Structure 1
Amino acid sequence: MAAAAARLASRQSPISKLLRRPLLPSCISSGLRHLSDQATPITVETSVPFVGHKCEPPSREVETTPGELMGFFREMAMMRRMEIAADSLYKAKLIRGFCHLYDGQEAVAVGMEAAITRKDAIITAYRDHCIFLGRGGSLVETFAELMGRRAGCSNGKGGSMHFYKKDSGFYGGHGIVGAQVPLGCGLAFAQKYLKEGTVTFAMYGDGAANQGQLFEALNISALWDLPVILVCENNHYGMGTAEWRAAKSPAYYKRGDYVPGLKVDGMDALAVKQACKFAKEHALKNGPLILEMDTYRYHGHSMSDPGSTYRTRDEISGVRQERDPIERVRKLILSHEIASAAELKDIEKELRKEVDDAIAQAKECPMPDPSELFTDVFVKGCGAEMKTCQRCVAALGCLSEPASCCSSTKE
């Protein structure tokens, strides 16, 4: 239904700082035009205007550079390739359990990182692979975690929904709908208490936007002027339910009532960058703000959802053709003659090889030892360490030094 795609487009409104690696492989970068000065300023207007609630929206004119645009392209193309590869690994049964893919929403992760630092905190729901990558995580850590290997970012024990990178301010991947928002507000409380001058981005989807705990956390955050930005990644479907069927008021940027909000084209990396920069400055001075990222997921809600029973293929292809975040950056790069179409294709080929090599390396990583079942359960030194009885040891055959049971039995 082309009409559905048009209706979706009409609802829109108004990366990482490169991951400590070269923008491009040396064999490609030598041929690029104008990258001799990667910091040359370029001013670009966002695709659509921002729409504000109880705040004056930022300017649509965003300053960028050739280097940043090439970084956006590389990072989003890598995220897209990574998620497509995860789809194949899941279908091959090398990834088990739940798996929620992010392809289509890459501009949110990339634009957000461009506006903040690694000292700022991010916490999100279970669609977390690309957020982890944007925070400086590696492809090998990603695929190892997805496949339950010891080299994964959570030692192979968290899986798809529980990625973490605390040293870069990424506090997870959380599986309970909406539960990460109060935790994010708690992070912001700590930031204010410690006078760190940093903010927290607490991310959630339109499906979680009606959760009571979200409003409770927002209320106390507003009372205390906490430096927290609530980011609603509105991909228009909570699992298989369209937003208009789930929310009487789907204008999520207004849902904070007394808290200012901003609606952003979440398929435009530069618009996301501008909005997040604006939000950080606001939160440090005035407290909470809500950002609604108008975005779209190409896959279903999870790998168990074909994604085509509650929306048409025409709708999906219409968004791909008109709003795809990677294609938007590609057009900017070509129009400013930063690189040629052939050079961008070469980058994509190189990224495909990087992803394939990371998968091969992750497959060689060992599984966690069965004894890991008993680690990371209690904090050591607090009098609540877990002890295991010999009966459990006999059943699992995994602990070399069995301890007495911590409860009533001495078996």
Structure 2
Amino acid sequence: MKGKLTKDNLEEMLRRMLRIRHFENEAITLHKNGLVPGSLHTSQGQEGEIVGACAALRLDDYMVGNHRSHGHPIGKGAKLRGLMAELLARKTGVCGGKGGSMHLADFSVGSLGETSIVGSGIPVAAGAALGAKMQGIDRVSLCFFGDGAAQEGTFHEGINMAAVWDLPAIFLCENNGYAVSTPLHKATRSENIADRAAGYGIPGIIVDGQDVLAVYEAVAEAVERARAGKGPSLIEAKTYRYIDHAANLGRDLGYRTEAEIEEWRSKRDPIQLFTDCLLGEFGFNRDEIIALEETVKAEVADAIAFAKDSPFPDPSEAWTDVYAPAAN
């Protein structure tokens, strides 16, 4: 699969990984300063599995995320202005400023939405895949969910239905080791979430979530299988989040050590690993990498300025987008 990736493809993958990292770094500061209402769940450290998976999709393919919601639409190619404006509750946000950090959606890139309800995206993704199959179009549906969501009933219901009906779906578990502060081994006797695929009669794949190219290859194979009418796949990306369950909690829950976090940051950072790969195996030069990162920083700064200059929605808009208009 690597042979199918051009230099432009590789550059775009790094660009999107950097966009996630810098977008969320700035979002944490904005949240700390009171400009982002509500809680803020970030995915620094998980950029490899997000971008690797999304890079295997077409623009018109569907993608469903979860409460850790900024990385997924960025990984799918969403513009930063509308996302940042949504975080700041501005009218120009992708959901009109009424969704906030955990409820981003951008239909222009196939991002059907994120939700704060753990596990709720799995049946949504199955439904999108069912719709594609019923319409006779070859779109696939990619669903991101965490290891905590794998303990929800929707995990079984959604994946079982997708398997029985051979739906074109890819279910990707972002196993970062913890559900809030509960380690996986305290929530399930299964060492690997992907092992459960056998119970549904579908492929179960485990992949290094810090290796963007490994994730791309695994998801690309699952996408090819889904488009061919061979049904869904369950992929488990072993990854890690650097920040707590939500940013700026203001307290130490004591479920992991600083040494553990630093071990992942220093030795398993997905952006650094991919950068090293680009500089070595793919012949990029460091000036290209530096220039790309500077461009991304400028994009994020532009998105922040745009969001701050945008108006808040008018109170009269509280009831818009709640109900579909009546049919004539």
Q: Aligning the two structures, in what range does the TM-score lie when normalised by the shorter sequence?
A: over 0.9
The match for 1:152 is 93
The match for 2:311 is 366
- The alpha-carbon distance between structure 1 residues 90 and 293, as it changes in their structure 2 partners (threshold 3 A), is same
**Which structure is larger by alpha-carbon Rg, 1 or 2?**
1
| 1:247-270, Cα deviation, whole Å (9 max, x unpaired) | 111310111323221001111111
The match for 1:132 is 73
Alpha-carbon separation, structure 2, partners of 1:307 and 1:65: 44
- The alpha-carbon distance between structure 1 residues 259 and 339, as it changes in their structure 2 partners (threshold 3 A), is closer
The match for 1:227 is 168
The match for 1:352 is 297
SS for the counterpart of 1:203 is strand
Matched to 1:92, the amino acid is N
SS for the counterpart of 1:286 is coil
The match for 2:209 is 266
Distance apart, 1:353 and its partner CA: 2.5
Which segment is superposed worse, 139-148 or 281-290?
A: 281-290
From 238, 246, 254, give the equivalent of 1:294: 238
Matched to 2:57, the amino acid is I
Q: TM-score, normalised by structure 1?
A: 0.75
Which segment is superposed worse, 104-113 or 346-355?
A: 346-355
Which segment is superposed worse, 324-333 or 307-316?
A: 307-316
| 1:154-210, Cα deviation, whole Å (9 max, x unpaired) | 010000011111232111101111111111111111111111112111221001101
Matched to 1:297, the amino acid is R
Which segment is superposed worse, 256-265 or 304-313?
A: 304-313
From 186, 189, 195, give the equivalent of 1:254: 195
SS for the counterpart of 1:112 is helix
Tell me, which stretches of 5 or more residues in structure 2 are unaligned? Answer: none
The match for 2:283 is 338
Distance apart, 1:76 and its partner CA: 1.0
The match for 1:311 is 256
Distance apart, 1:218 and its partner CA: 1.7
Give runs of aligned pairs for residues 68-217 of structure 1, distance below 5 A. 68-217=9-158
SS for the counterpart of 1:293 is strand
Matched to 2:106, the amino acid is K
CA RMSD of aligned residues (A): 1.8
Q: Any runs of at least 4 consecutive aligned residues in structure 1 with deviations exceeding 6 A, and if so which?
A: none
| 1:303-357, Cα deviation, whole Å (9 max, x unpaired) | 2546762111111111112211111111122214733334423332332232122
Distance apart, 1:237 and its partner CA: 0.6
Give the number of aligned pairs.
324
Which one has a larger percent helix, Structure 1 or Structure 2?
2
- Are 1:320 and 2:265 an aligned pair? yes
Which segment is superposed worse, 327-336 or 260-269?
A: 327-336
| 1:115-163, Cα deviation, whole Å (9 max, x unpaired) | 1102211111111212112333222111110000001010100000111
> In the alignment, is the contact (CA less than 8 A) between 1:200 and 1:228 conserved in 2?
yes
Percent sequence identity is 37
